Structure 1
Amino acid sequence: MAGRMVLGSALAQLVRPASEMDESGAHRLLPVAPELGGLLPNRGLRRGSTVAVGTARSASGGTSLMLALLAEASRAGSWCAVVGVPALGLLAAAEAGIALDRLALVPYPGAEWPTVVAALIDGVDVVVAAAPDGVSTVVTDRLAARARQRGCVLVPYGAWTGADVTLQITDGAWDGLGPGHGRLTRRRLTISARGRGAATRPREIRVWLPAASDRFAAVVAGTPGATTVTLVDPPATATPRAPLTLVGPSAEPA
């Protein structure tokens, strides 16, 4: 009980509860990158919703997707927190465009995982939570209900039942290697979205993630002549990235 009170007090000193930031009902959507907006029913992260990020056994890249989902909201001024993902580093977050001065990492929450996630929901705009093995649906349902009440976007990372939207990487492949020569230049991920209500209709996009480049591009799967969205990464100082540059499908990126 004492640990819970200390954590709640510390968060209260850092940020205001997300529910207090939206008393008028305005700004109910947090922005996402344009290519990811096509996966979400409102083209953004709706406050109070649960948007899960999963990865099929045959694919990987869930961390990249999770960071890409947070980046626009972070740059727009939202606070983000990631709980239970010890492999996530600050360099990866900065390269994805997340503002490090508004990012909280709790890599090892231990047995107090539900308490930590609940406390962060009370004071942070977006909370990524990787549930440990054995967490019951009763606990996860309570956390989702708390997020709805507080106006926080809960982003379960991994298996989660009952999310409003579930984004899942179903396929991935590297590009650049030839027969015995070449180097990895970019990575293609296929991301599907399924959910409830307005998100019932399945959606899918293909995303290119260059491995050693300063660009991130995506094309909506099955859309002839789809616009390519190029995001320019920040310099080594981890300052916010340059605005989005939209280029046509046949044009060379600037």
Structure 2
Amino acid sequence: MVDERIARLVAIPGVRTAAEVAEQVAGAAASSEVLPVLPGLTRLLPGTGLERGDTVAVSGSVSLLLGLVAGVTGAGGWAAVVGMPELGLVAAAELGVDLGRFALVASPVAEVIAVATALLDGVDLVVLGSPAVAVAAVSGPVARRLSARARHRGAVLVAAGPWPGAELELRAEPGLWSGLEDGPTGYLTGQIAVVYRHGRGAAARPARFTVALPHPGGEITAVPVRRDRSAEQVAALESAR
């Protein structure tokens, strides 16, 4: 039985169930081999966007994960998040996620893998929340089966945590917060984090970036970090605010 809290979320205009999303995109042909990302995130990727068929592991930052979702929905694609009922829809919208092209699906842990498998048949980008990732990671065959499904269907599977065999891994480490510059009271508005990238193929060469998550105005900004200038680059990001 669906939790009342989840039922209220699904009732919000623009938040659809997995079945409704799959129905609307069924039969749609892939228009590109690459899913677009927000301009501020292109530097994090080895190419110009997310390669269809890839599995991407994102850890340490929900904002970074939502940034990937925002790029896809903002360009007219479809995205779904499975197993993250605590996800803030207001925060998602502020980061640019088009809730009209987004599904938030809460399923019992035992059903998450089956739901994700079904979504990969018709949704451009599917995010597996941390509990779901833990379930899949326990079983190597399950993880491989989901990645193979994404590859076969031309979707992108994004895991909110480590994932065996992921083509791309983005790991964020928290850094400086902004929003309290005028004193001990106020609201946190963003964070400068360091994101480490590695993976396979074009992403085999490790890279490190400073990322403003989110930048004022909902934007995300990423620049490469050089070991001898990382402090300067962080300062530059701060002054740009």
TM-score normalised to structure 2 length: 0.77
Mapped partners of 1:129, 1:217: distance in 2: 22
Residue in structure 1 matched with residue 45 of structure 2 by the alignment = 40
Residue in structure 1 matched with residue 29 of structure 2 by the alignment = 21
- 8 Å contact kept, 1:84–1:107: yes
| Local SS of the residue matching 2:224 | coil
| Local SS of the residue matching 2:198 | strand
2:165 is equivalent to residue 158 of structure 1: no
Amino acid at match of 1:69: L
Mapped partners of 1:145, 1:154: distance in 2: 10
Residue in structure 2 matched with residue 113 of structure 1 by the alignment = 112
- 8 Å contact kept, 1:176–1:185: yes
Mapped partners of 1:203, 1:197: distance in 2: 14
- 8 Å contact kept, 1:109–1:116: no
- From the superposition, tell whether residues 149 and 132 of structure 1 become closer, same or farther in structure 2 (CA, over 3 Å): closer
2:205 is equivalent to residue 195 of structure 1: no
Q: Which is richer in helix?
A: 2
- From the superposition, tell whether residues 151 and 219 of structure 1 become closer, same or farther in structure 2 (CA, over 3 Å): closer
Mapped partners of 1:76, 1:170: distance in 2: 28
Gaps of 5+ in 2: 1-16
Report the more deviating stretch, 109-118 or 125-134. 125-134
Amino acid at match of 2:170: L
| Local SS of the residue matching 2:121 | helix
Q: What CA deviation, in whole Å up to 9, does each residue of 1:94-132 have, x standing for no partner?
A: 111111111011133431111100000001000001225
* CA RMSD after TM alignment: 3.0
Mapped partners of 1:252, 1:189: distance in 2: 15
2:86 is equivalent to residue 87 of structure 1: yes
Residue in structure 2 matched with residue 69 of structure 1 by the alignment = 68
Amino acid at match of 2:146: L
Q: What CA deviation, in whole Å up to 9, does each residue of 1:74-93 have, x standing for no partner?
A: 11110000001111022121
% of aligned pairs identical?
44
Gaps of 5+ in 1: 1-6, 56-61, 229-247
Mapped partners of 1:102, 1:28: distance in 2: 19
Mapped partners of 1:36, 1:125: distance in 2: 18
Residue in structure 1 matched with residue 170 of structure 2 by the alignment = 167
Amino acid at match of 2:45: L
- From the superposition, tell whether residues 9 and 199 of structure 1 become closer, same or farther in structure 2 (CA, over 3 Å): same
Residue in structure 2 matched with residue 214 of structure 1 by the alignment = 217
Mapped partners of 1:90, 1:182: distance in 2: 25
- 8 Å contact kept, 1:54–1:167: yes
Q: What CA deviation, in whole Å up to 9, does each residue of 1:164-214 have, x standing for no partner?
A: 000110232213546964654542111111100111011221112358x43
Mapped partners of 1:91, 1:159: distance in 2: 26
- From the superposition, tell whether residues 132 and 36 of structure 1 become closer, same or farther in structure 2 (CA, over 3 Å): closer
Deviation at 1:13, TM superposition (A): 2.3
Deviation at 1:216, TM superposition (A): 2.9
Q: Would you say how many aligned residue pairs link Structure 1 and Structure 2?
A: 213
Deviation at 1:215, TM superposition (A): 4.5
Deviation at 1:219, TM superposition (A): 4.2
Mapped partners of 1:79, 1:210: distance in 2: 22
Deviation at 1:51, TM superposition (A): 1.0
Residue in structure 2 matched with residue 142 of structure 1 by the alignment = 145
- From the superposition, tell whether residues 124 and 175 of structure 1 become closer, same or farther in structure 2 (CA, over 3 Å): same
Mapped partners of 1:215, 1:132: distance in 2: 27
Report the more deviating stretch, 113-122 or 172-181. 172-181
- From the superposition, tell whether residues 82 and 199 of structure 1 become closer, same or farther in structure 2 (CA, over 3 Å): same
Mapped partners of 2:221, 2:22: distance in 1: 38
Mapped partners of 1:74, 1:164: distance in 2: 22
